Amino acid sequence: MKHAGLTVLLAVSVSLALHALPPFPPPEIVGRVTGVVDGDTIEVLITSLPASAPEGLATGQTVEIRYIGVDAPELAEANGWDATDLNSALVAGKTVYLELDEEIWDVHGRLLAYVYLDPGGYLMVNLMLVATEIVTARYDPGTDRYQAVFRYFDAVPAPTLPPEEACVPWNEAQAHVGEVSCVEGEVAGVGTSRQGHVFINLGNPYPNENRFTIFIPARCVGRFEAQFGPRFWRSLVGKVVSAFGEITLYQGVPEIELCDPSRLVIREE
C-alpha cells in the first residue's frame, strides 16, 4: 500500500507543480514537523513568523496543526494507519510552509493551515492527500480560499497503478544487479562506520560475503531517524525489512543505497 500510495502522491505533486494554485502570496509561516498524529493532523515547531502573524503563535512554539479541507480516516478505522503512513512519508521531520485562511483555530485549539513542502506554495500536502483513494475532502467553515480546488481533486479518480511486483529475496538479489527493484529479507546484523554511515545486512551478518546490504549514507541518516526513531537500526536484528532502489555490487556484495525513508519498510510482527 505504501509504495503505491507514494507513487500516487508523486503524480499529484507533479500535477500541482504544473497547474499552479490561485495567485495568493507564498506561505509566510515556516516550521519543522516534529510529530505526525494521524492522516490529517501534525505537530510543528514554528521557526519563522511574519510580522502579521495571528495572536497565539510564537517562534519556538510547537503547535498541533489540522490540515484544512482534509478528512482522513481515524486510526481505529479502515485505512487509518495507511493514511497516517502516507502523511508521515510526506512530512515527517521536514521543513514545511504554512498558509492560513480566515478561520485560524478549530474547536479543539488546533491551528488550521494549508501545508506546503516548498516555499513557493505549489506542493500542498492537503491536496496530495485528498487526491488519494483513502482520504476525502471536507469543508471547514471560514476556509473558502481553495474550496473549488479541493472539490476538483476529491472528484477526480486517483491514478490507477500497475500491480506491485513481489520483492526479490535477499539471496537472489545478485541476479538482479543493475535493476530497480524491491529486496526483502531478515536482518542478520547492523553496523555503523566512523563517518556515520549505517549498514543493514540481510541473510547473514558482516563480514560474511553471502549477504545483502542496505546502505544508508551518513548525510541521509537523520531522515530515517525522523521516520523510525533515533538509532532505529539497533532494534532491527531478527525483523524482516524490504528496500526499494537500484541493486548494485560493492566488493562483490549486492546492496541498495537508500536516502529516502519511504523506500524502507520494516515489517512489524
Measured N-to-C along each axis, helices 2-18 and 80-91 cross at an angle, to the nearest 10 degrees, of: 50
Given phi > 0 = left and psi -120 to 50 = alpha, else beta, which region is 64?
A: beta
Residue matched to cell numbers 566512523: 194
Q: Is the dihedral of CA 32, 35, 41, 43 positive or negative?
A: negative
Question: So which residues are the catalytic ones?
Answer: 66, 74, 110
* Neighbour-count burial of 262, counting CB atoms closer than 10 A to its CB (0-12 exposed, 13-18 middle, 19+ buried): buried
**Residue corresponding to grid cell 481515524:** 74
DSSP letters along 54-105, please? PTT--TT-EEEEEETTEEPPPTTSTTHHHHHHHHHHHHTT-EEEEE--S--B
16 φ/ψ angles, rounded to the nearest 5 degrees = -65, -40
